[in-house]
Amino acid sequence: MAAANDPKLGDIVLSEEQIQQRIAELGRQITDDYDGRPPLLVAVLKGAFVFMSDLARAIDLPVEFDFMAISSYGSATKSSGVVRIVKDLDLDLSGRHVIVVEDIIDSGLTLNYLRRNLQARNPASLEVCALLVREGRQADDLGLKYVGFTIPPAFVIGYGLDVAERYRNLPYLCVYNEDAE
């Protein structure tokens, strides 16, 4: 884990307890909504892998998993606006009830691209479960069915979210102090 005295670690935005409590609530909601229709969870790598792991255990249904890797950030802290699929799905989505599991929604551009791409694969249904939505960055209502938290526009790390592949293992979310030495 990152050192507690790391100057890059700013204020805690969400504690481990807050995150786990909300995931339990989302798991119950998805269990109720998908009774009799076990969903396929599609994690958007790498950030959502920690969230999907905990979310899957909170859903009291048989679920399946698949993974996609999409890049719009590179190693920067701001999206480039250019989306590319780095790793595609292994499973066929035709007739499946798909829940895309996202770590954080920023502008919504990547999500809109992903939805169009997946909808073209003919799933029976397609919803999104996002742990975080960064407030004030979306131009349109994104129609998200499952949202963990809405957070301020600061850049956050931890619980799967990183900067240049670091800090994903923090059990909480905190502000990233980019200018700290």
Distance of alpha carbon 79 from alpha carbon 109, whole angstroms: 9
CA atoms within 13 A on the CB side of 89: 18
Distance CA 68, CA 79 (A): 18
* Whole-number Å distance between alpha carbons of 40 and 52: 11
Catalytic residue among 35, 106, 140, 162: 106
Catalytic residue list contains 179: no
Cα 127 to Cα 143: distance, rounded to the nearest angstrom: 9
At 46, the amino acid letter reads K
* Residues annotated as catalytic (active site), given as ranges: 106
